[in-house]
Amino acid sequence: MRGSERVLDRLEREQALDPVAGRAGAFWSAALRSPRLRDLLSGRALGHPLHPAAVIVPAGTLLSATLLDVTGGSALRPAARRLIGLGLLSAGPAAVAGWSDWLDTDGAERRVGLVHAACNIVGIGCYTASWWQRHHGESKMAESKMAKGKVAKGGLAQRRVARGGLAASLVGAGALGIGGWLGGHLAYALGVGVDTTAFQRGPADWTDVLAAGEVTTALRQVEVDGVPVLLTRVDGRIVAINDRCTHRGAPLSDGERDGDCVRCPWHGSRFALTSGDVVQGPATRPQPVYEVRERAGRVELRRSEVRALRANPVGPSPDRVPVG
Ligand code: FES
């Protein structure tokens, strides 16, 4: 196991983080109890989690400011300070969206997410200190220019403050870098925010499932080609959507029927049973829908979309085109 993987493995198992996570969870659950706010922060309107998109502005501006510090001269310091100001203003909404996503995690994901947030808080704290030092230095310089004979002394103080601001932004960039690395682990290794049906295919051809008489308005799970499918009736018609919630993978058949929707048993997202659309978050991705037909009293279904990466977790993919 490589050094970085050892660190990540240790973090995932570090139970000492759990009490802190519990307190943070209680705070953010109370602060974000409005379902509308959770919907907004989750990114339902975008069709993808909001947090990864929202961090682009703070990460881009803050790291650009540090780059200006390192590669530019003193003439670029005011521009760097303005970039830091913009980065700090945009960091708040991005962070709250991240906490909203984090609330729906557990175990290893929750621990890594907590440390990811802690690194970013340290980074933002350093950039805040950096901004303050720069602002302070520029004010001092302006004052000294106005006071005749004190320019040399004011310039010295400004240089000292500028060095402090630069040091704080370098430390901040390092902390944000570690936070970004952990964010990558959360998404790409632990799958937080990934559509949990992304690699589930369902049958390409019509496949017999069960007798039509066995499907009522109740939520019924059947397994077809290794994919869990939710069958039910809407206005007498049989409909089928993937039974694994796209948000964090709950079995929707354990949830509640709510009119023409199903409510997820874990975090309360609602999905339209006919279209699979997300009616209420925190889920952002719709449920895959399957085509259904009745033949001689039997129910048959097949998938209605084609995606290159969709493949069942086990078994060969019949559509795979050999390379070379
Ligand atoms: S698993 Fe979170 S809403 Fe379904």
Residue 323: per-residue pLDDT: 44
Distance 316 CA to ligand 1 centre (A): 29
Distance 255 CA to ligand 1 centre (A): 10
Which residue from 39, 44, 269 has its CB within 8 A of the most atoms of ligand 1, so it is best to mutate? 269
Annotation: CATH topology of 207-303: Rieske Iron-sulfur Protein (2.102.10)
Which residue from 248, 262, 278, 284 has its CB within 8 A of the most atoms of ligand 1, so it is best to mutate? 248
Q: Is residue 252 in contact with ligand 1, taking CB distance under 6 Å? A: no
Q: Is residue 41 in contact with ligand 1, taking CB distance under 6 Å? A: no
Nearest to 165 by CA among 182, 145, 140: 140
Distance 104 CA to ligand 1 centre (A): 8
Q: Is residue 263 in contact with ligand 1, taking CB distance under 6 Å? A: no
Query: Atom of ligand 1 at shortest distance to CA of 245?
Result: 4
Residue 139: per-residue pLDDT: 64
Residue 257: both structure tokens together: 């029927």
Measured distance CA(64)–CA(83) in Å, rounded: 7
Could you give the angle at the alpha carbon of 116 between the alpha carbons of 115 and 120, nearest 5°?
110
Residue 142: per-residue pLDDT: 63
11 class by beta-carbon count within 10 Å (0-12 exposed, 13-18 middle, 19+ buried): middle
Could you tell me which residues are beta bridge partners of residue 299?
210, 294
Measured distance CA(172)–CA(121) in Å, rounded: 9
Q: Are 104 and 48 in contact (CB under 8 A)?
A: no
For the chain (length 324 residues), average pLDDT per consecutive 10? 88 95 96 92 92 95 91 83 95 96 95 97 95 77 60 60 81 95 96 91 90 94 92 96 95 95 96 95 94 94 73 51 44
Q: Are 133 and 168 in contact (CB under 8 A)?
A: yes
- The ranges of the chain annotated as CATH 2.102.10.10 are 207-303
Measured distance CA(261)–CA(272) in Å, rounded: 4
Q: Are 231 and 214 in contact (CB under 8 A)?
A: no
Residue 321: per-residue pLDDT: 46
Q: Is residue 267 in contact with ligand 1, taking CB distance under 6 Å? A: yes
CA–CA distances in Å: residue 159 to residues 75, 121, 134, 170, 297: 12, 27, 10, 16, 84
Residue 237, classed as helix, strand or coil, is strand
